[in-house]
A and B are shown apart, each in its own frame.
Chain A
Amino acid sequence: MTIIDIRRLQVSFGEKTVVSEASFSVEKGETFSLIGASGCGKSTLLRVLAGLQREWQGEVALFGSPIKAGTRFQGTLRRNVQMVFQDPYASLHPNHTLYRTLAEPLKIHGEQEIEQKVTTALEQVGLPVDAVRRFPHQLSGGQRQRVAIARALLLHPQILLLDEPTSALDMSVQAEILNLLNRLKAQHGMSYLLVSHDADVIAHMSDRAAYMAKGKIARFFDRNALVRGEHRMG
């Protein structure tokens, strides 16, 4: 089943076109990666799929139904597409405790037993339960990224968009986060769309990958091509 289908997507900011003619699809249960140099439009593409960048042209379908440009994601769609941002220092509200950060999406979606669910989410990502009373600055970078992942997973999304989830972290903490992502993917049957500039992370995580340059998808790689290291291009 195809759960993300993008055809001829184009995003412009004023004069500047940052994504042009991007087309690809992601199957259910797959990890699909986008690789490319800084400024090639990969993060913008992710923001379109997350519903954060609402001005675009082309065709985008999520879970088989088309979405319209200019509209907010609501209800089940909002719940099913979640995103983990690059910088764990910037993506959590500095003045909110972890409990408030984690409980907010549940409250918005009218969930019951919020406290119980927050506790479970923290346990899932390997954080102590008493961390709910802490503020982001009282956590290390790796712990913060775990919180960001816990927040994204609370609503049991089907698609997780990962924008450089480990590039701000140490090599050893990166290994922990990648393991966590792979374990949770197996447990929840999610699909990942991963953006990274690290060829090693891509080779470790992806079923398929695409190379983006100047707003266009230049090449696709299947698993064999990734093993041969064809995605390590200049």
Chain B
Amino acid sequence: MTETRVQVSGLNIDYPGARVVNNLSFTLGNERLALVGESGSGKSMTARALMGLVRQPGKVSATELNVLGHDLPTLNSKGWRELRGNGIAMVLQDPRYALNPVKTVLSQLDEALTLHQRLSRTQRLEKIHHVLHAVELSPDVLQRYPGQLSGGMGQRVMIAIALVNDPKVLIADEPTSALDARLRNQILELLVSQCEQRQMAMLLISHDLPLVAQHCHRVMVMYQGECVDAMPAAQLPNAGHPYTRTLWTCRPGADTWGQMLPTLDRSQSFSGVNHDNH
């Protein structure tokens, strides 16, 4: 970790009737950090707060919320436009919903470039071909519409759109959960190799612990809007926290045949935050 790229402390996100993220603090340098937890644990909302995408009536408040030196709460829409794309970019879960169905891949990539950089037409095309090569797609997908792509190709297009402006921080919000098991590793390996080539930091959001353990440096475990556990990813198999342990061991497999899988006792409260391993 050389420099701090994202600094979050005391982040709260409130909706009328519920607080979805409560007093969350973390930093992200040039590394890969995983945010794990079940649906509704607040991990996607945290990512959205970093992108300025929390919609009304949601309210974001924090003692510090800083991305690449920009203080997010004071940012106006021009400032956001400069930060998004160039500084921080996001890959969403499902290419079927996140891509514009009536625009070709080429025009969606081109749009990302024209919005965030001033480049000539030839320079843009060069960049587009370069990024397509990076995500291992052939140039003939450029003329296609999202409906003509398979799930894995759609996901690669979304990654290409996120990478085309060379961001310093990439947020990947469950980039593999709409894909089948075989494609999951391919896409994650692609993300990891791009992070290393481009010296890009990644915040990976997932509910699959064994998967993130292979691909990330650090893990933060969220439950009901709070960080309940944090550790280096390599330590996950030895996690002591009961919630983390269940998430780690609840994955089925050949050895668990004929046995009951461990499940969460949801009546239990897991808030006894373990910050020792930070």
Whether A associates with B in a native complex is yes
**A197 pairs with B181, CB closer than 8 A:** yes
The reply to whether the CB of B263 lies closer than 8 angstroms to some CB of chain A is yes
Instruction: Give the secondary structure class of A's interface.
Output: helix
Least Cβ–Cβ distance between B17 and chain A, in angstroms? 14
Q: Taking A141-B39, A171-B247 as contacts, is the C-beta distance between A38 and B254 under 8 angstroms?
A: no
Least Cβ–Cβ distance between A128 and chain B, in angstroms? 12
Least Cβ–Cβ distance between A132 and chain B, in angstroms? 21
Partner of A175, one of B180, B209, B250: B250
**A172 pairs with B207, CB closer than 8 A:** yes
The reply to whether the CB of B19 lies closer than 8 angstroms to some CB of chain A is no
Contacting residues, chain A, for B246 (C-beta < 8 A) = 172
Chain A residue at smallest Cβ distance from B257: A204
Interface mask (A82-109 → B, CB under 8 Å = 1, otherwise 0): 0000000000000000000000000000
Chain A residue at smallest Cβ distance from B184: A198
Contacting residues, chain B, for A204 (C-beta < 8 A) = 252-254, 256-257, 261
**B40 pairs with A140, CB closer than 8 A:** yes
Chain A residue at smallest Cβ distance from B246: A172
Q: Taking A172-B264, A175-B261 as contacts, is the C-beta distance between A203 and B247 under 8 angstroms?
A: no
Q: Taking A170-B207, A197-B181 as contacts, is the C-beta distance between A175 and B38 under 8 angstroms?
A: no
Contacting residues, chain B, for A174 (C-beta < 8 A) = 250, 252
Total CB contacts across the A-B interface at under 8 A: 73
Contacting residues, chain A, for B150 (C-beta < 8 A) = 38
Least Cβ–Cβ distance between B204 and chain A, in angstroms? 15
Q: Determine which residue in A176, A183, A223 has the highest number of CB atoms from chain B within 10 A of its CB, and name it.
A: A176
Q: Taking A141-B39, A174-B250, A175-B261 as contacts, is the C-beta distance between A38 and B181 under 8 angstroms?
A: no
Total interface residues in chain A, CB < 8 Å:
28
Interface mask (A123-158 → B, CB under 8 Å = 1, otherwise 0): 000000000000000001100000000000000000
Interface-lining segment among A10-18, A59-67, A226-234: A226-234
**Which residues of chain B in 16-65 are interfacial with respect to chain A, using CB atoms and an 8 Å cutoff?**
38-40
Contacting residues, chain B, for A199 (C-beta < 8 A) = 181
A182 to B207, CA, bound (A): 23
Contacting residues, chain B, for A173 (C-beta < 8 A) = 38-39
A140 to B38, CA, bound (A): 12
The reply to whether the CB of A179 lies closer than 8 angstroms to some CB of chain B is yes
**B256 pairs with A170, CB closer than 8 A:** no
Contacting residues, chain A, for B182 (C-beta < 8 A) = 37, 197, 234
Least Cβ–Cβ distance between B151 and chain A, in angstroms? 7
**B38 pairs with A170, CB closer than 8 A:** yes
A223 to B256, CA, bound (A): 13
**A197 pairs with B180, CB closer than 8 A:** yes
Contacting residues, chain B, for A172 (C-beta < 8 A) = 38, 207, 246-247, 250, 263-264
Partner of B180, one of A37, A203, A223: A37
A197 to B179, CA, bound (A): 10
Chain A residue at smallest Cβ distance from B182: A234
The reply to whether the CB of A69 lies closer than 8 angstroms to some CB of chain B is no
**A198 pairs with B181, CB closer than 8 A:** yes
**B264 pairs with A203, CB closer than 8 A:** no
A175 to B150, CA, bound (A): 28
**B254 pairs with A171, CB closer than 8 A:** no
Partner of A203, one of B209, B252, B263: B252
Partner of A178, one of B38, B181, B207, B252: B252
The reply to whether the CB of A48 lies closer than 8 angstroms to some CB of chain B is no
Contact surface of A with B, Cβ cutoff 8 Å: 37-38, 140-141, 170-176, 178-179, 182-183, 197-201, 203-205, 223, 226-227, 229, 234
Beyond the given A170-B39, A171-B208, please list 5 additional residue pairs across the A-B interface where CB-CB is below 8 A.
A141-B39, A170-B207, A200-B181, A204-B253, A204-B254
- Chosen A-B contacts, 20 in total, with CB atoms closer than 8 Å, are A37-B182, A38-B151, A140-B39, A140-B40, A170-B39, A171-B247, A172-B207, A172-B246, A175-B250, A175-B252, A176-B264, A197-B181, A197-B182, A198-B180, A198-B181, A200-B251, A200-B252, A203-B253, A204-B252, A204-B256
